[in-house]
Amino acid sequence: MIIVLKPKTSKKEKEKVIKKIHSLGLKTMVSQGVERTIIGVIGEEDALRVQPLEAFPGVEKVIPVLAPYKLVSREFKPQNSVVKVKNVSIGAKQIVIMAGPCAIENLKTLRAIAKSVKESGATVLRGGAFKPRTSPYSFQGLGKEGLKMMRDVAEEYGLVSITEVIDPRDVDLLAKYVDILQVGARNMQNFNLLKELGKIKKPILLKRGMMSTIKEFLMSAEYILSEGNFNVILCERGIRTFENFTRNTLDINAVPAIKMLSHLPVIVDPSHATGKWELVTAVSKAAIAAGADGLIVEVHTHPEQAASDGEQSLKPLNFRNMVKEVAAIAKALKRKV
């Protein structure tokens, strides 16, 4: 349920409405716009249906939200949300490019990759310190040592940093070292992790699960917002279908569909969607044409030596050419890279 307040509602009148909602055992999330203040109600709303909230001074109207994802929906917030991290705004006019290795391997390699992607136009450095892998025998990441490398290299090259969190117990640790915490596809419905991420103010990049519907995807985002963290970025990275030529099947429909249903920014991961570096550029252009706010791409100086996902990682020169082609698409849409 959404409660829309009148333009000149006083602070006292607003607090009276909020107090009434809290007395019924419900939570509130307040969205302060330029002209209007909107109060989102979280919880079982049956108690509110018999309460004449329209009678409260300052209340303009009460609107039921039909979507199960209340805070994520455009009914709650019609305008696009922009997630700001240092000097980077995700969801604004500029297309944000996130790039780097799948896994942080060593300082020398990470520095070389960071330097190249920064020169090509990336503003966010990606790299995994904790790597959830299908096989328990595969490289699992450098852990805390990798986080330190990520922090130091990102600062050296003036990049925003992003890495994946896989355990609720690691949230505070990662928050000390990186700017954006990523939730991978395998953890999209790890609700304990999502709740912990909702309690911090760091931006969260939430990837869609391999076999999750758009509704399930948005409901996972709702877990984070319902705990108070509205700095959420959604990432379409392909879903599992009967097709096995590519690693996954990019659901290009999801980009405009989510944009229609939700105010949160949406980016695309063409590396995991395709699993083949040769396809990354074409899919990246399609994603931007469909309305994506950014890309997260795997780049490695020596993909043949990469600890993980070398087959889908672009070499620096290929990445540079990809960014140029994406920039042309963005310009046609009156956006920029």
Pairing state between β 232-236 and 27-32? unpaired
Q: How far apart are CA 259 and CA 33, in angstroms?
A: 20
pLDDT on residue 68: 85
Residues 6+ apart with CB under 8 A from 269: 207, 235, 236, 237, 238, 295, 296, 297
What CATH architecture is 2-63?
A: 2-Layer Sandwich (3.30)
pLDDT of residue 24: 85
Of 89, 78, 101, nearest in space to 303 by CA: 101
pLDDT of residue 30: 85
pLDDT value for 212: 97
- The Cα 228–Cα 197 span in angstroms is 9
H-state helical runs in the chain: 11-23, 107-120, 144-157, 171-177, 191-198, 214-226, 254-261, 270-274, 277-289, 316-332
Residue 189: how many other CB atoms lie within 10 Å: 16
DSSP 170: G
User: Is 171 in contact with 201 (CB distance < 8 Å)?
Assistant: no
Tokens of 73: 């929906």
Helix (H/G/I), strand (E/B), else coil: 183? strand
Counting beta carbons within 10 angstroms of the beta carbon of residue 92, is it exposed (0 to 12), middle (13 to 18) or buried (19 or more)?
middle
Residue position matching structure tokens 């954006």: 180
Cα 253 from Cα 315, distance rounded (Å): 28
**The domain at 83-332 falls in which architecture?**
Alpha-Beta Barrel (3.20)
The two tokens of residue 266 are: 């949406």
Q: Where are the domains of the chain?
A: 2-63, 83-332
Gap between the Cα atoms of 83 and 124, Å rounded: 13
Question: What residue ranges of the chain have pLDDT lower than 50?
Answer: none
Instruction: Look up tokens 């399609």; give the residue.
Output: 286
| Residue 98, CA distances (Å) to 75, 218, 297, 299 in order | 30, 22, 6, 10
Residue 33: strand, helix, or coil: coil
Look up tokens 């950014």; give the residue: 294
